Chain A
């Protein structure tokens, strides 16, 4: 039906790789952030909460630009990494980073909802039975938020597949290197006669996102059955 070029296949493979890496890399941070938001008594919790959710409402281009300022050759982190011989900007790692930042609020929100459903008494019970806080964290909180983590991860994965604004700014649009599906579609729409191919990639994109969302919905439903509110 659609005759995808090797570059298109590369875009699909790269999209999957970027989304998967971004999701896996964000998981521990997402879990920690949700744990702090739900269980800690940090003084600046409201501020922290707002900061967590900011990428959800900011234009991705703004996120991308801020990351560029931070990680560019003249940025303080970018300069530091350059001395260590690490380059992030305009590599696929930049695309991962863009996806991580943009998708992070979705991951945290989902895990947080799951954690809020955990009865505090279960954690107290484990503590009085001799578990230290980190023991409780790994034997009670983690397993009981398992489905919420999975649901959040799938949501973030889907969001990462569609990430465009931040990616094009810090990773660029280099075919075979940083060109993911949305960027490839963008290229096709600008090129004469590319409409058909753009549509083909759109369908791939829709199919992938839809599959992930269905998986996410199934997880959320199971969660609701187990922790009725």
Chain B
């Protein structure tokens, strides 16, 4: 998808002004609350009218004040998934899902409702009343409803925000599957770095109504390591597991990680902070920590007064953080062999 945007909008004391051109299919809009992310979404979808500017997507002009073009929301074919699901309360799940599908011309119906229902795991919900759904279920139905309207682009406005902390990431695999399977460009709005890294390829960074950077989520995460309490978050896709006593050993690349996570083990995405990795020059014979991994330094990067150590561990990337002095003590240079020590309890399951 190619997008060419130049927009100006004043709302009370807040002034939103931006100009960007991009090409891609997984784009993140990142910034703190009040940075103009939602304003951008409303302007793109045609829910607010810009004071001036233009919006062009794949060569088609959706808005241009100089040419007096302003397509109404239903003609823009831009789907929106709001923070709260906003399902129609007087309709059942099936009617909600098919609301948009029934309103598009037959030749535009590129997505088969049955296929989508299967991908989102909605079969058992179809006959239900929307008021009886859980937060995650509601958000899945809302996503399905939007996808079935076969839009040229989907805007998601902090879709995980309304969900419980423990469950919010569980919807991510559904999102990924939908966008992989049905090939719809996505504009993902969020202030969560983790969500950005899981869902987007490139990121537009906003602050106080201005575009301040065009980067990747990975880059943002590294930059933020310097002033973030939680450090850099390693996102680790872990595979098969086996039980060792009350611990789980998950396969990670061509090695294993030992985790003490509660509940049923299954393959999934886990997070590990760069702060929870201790680096040793030589193999410590024994340690209370359950993971002693041989790694090789591939790159060092600075972030504030900390140094990020990017390593390669059995074919998998891992980022640890150290202070400047440790760089000298350990003789950290690219190519250096190290042992990374990680406690079994340092991992947290995302989904």
A interface with B by C-beta (< 8 Å): 119, 121-122, 124-133, 135, 139-140, 143-144, 226
Contact = CB atoms under 8 A, between A and B. Distances in A.
A125 B99 CA distance: 10
B45 A125 contact: no
Contacts of A122: 86, 88-89
A1 B130 CA distance: 54
B74 A131 contact: yes
B88 A130 contact: no
Interface of A, helix, strand, loop or mixed by DSSP: helix
Contacts of B79: 128-129
A129 B146 contact: yes
Given A132-B72, A144-B89, A126 B47 contact: no
B74 A128 contact: yes
Contacts of A144: 89-90
Interface string B101-133: 001100000000000000000000000000000
Interface of B: 45-47, 72-74, 76-80, 82, 84, 86, 88-90, 99-100, 103-104, 145-146, 149, 151
Question: Ordered nearest first, which 7 A-B pairs have the shortest CB separation?
Answer: A129-B100, A130-B103, A127-B73, A128-B80, A121-B86, A129-B149, A143-B90
Given A122-B86, A125-B82, A144-B89, A130 B47 contact: no
A132 B90 contact: no
Contacts of A127: 46-47, 72-74
Contacts of B100: 129-130
A130 B89 CA distance: 18
Contacts, number: 63
The CB with the most chain B CB atoms within 10 A, among A121, A122, A126, A129, is that of: A129
Nearest to A135: B103
B73 A128 contact: yes
A9 to B, nearest CB: 41
The CB with the most chain B CB atoms within 10 A, among A127, A133, A140, A144, is that of: A127
Contact of A124 (B76, B77, B80, B103): B80
Contacts of A226: 89
A125 B89 CA distance: 12
A126 B88 contact: yes
A126 B99 contact: yes
Contacts of B78: 128
Contacts of A135: 74, 103
A100 B40 CA distance: 46
A128 B47 contact: yes
A144 B89 CA distance: 8
Given A128-B80, A130-B100, A131-B74, 16 more contacts: A121-B82, A122-B86, A122-B88, A124-B82, A126-B99, A127-B46, A127-B73, A128-B46, A128-B78, A128-B149, A129-B99, A130-B77, A130-B149, A131-B103, A132-B72, A135-B103
Nearest to B108: A130
13 contacts: A121-B82, A127-B47, A128-B47, A128-B76, A128-B78, A128-B80, A128-B146, A130-B74, A130-B77, A130-B149, A132-B72, A133-B72, A139-B99
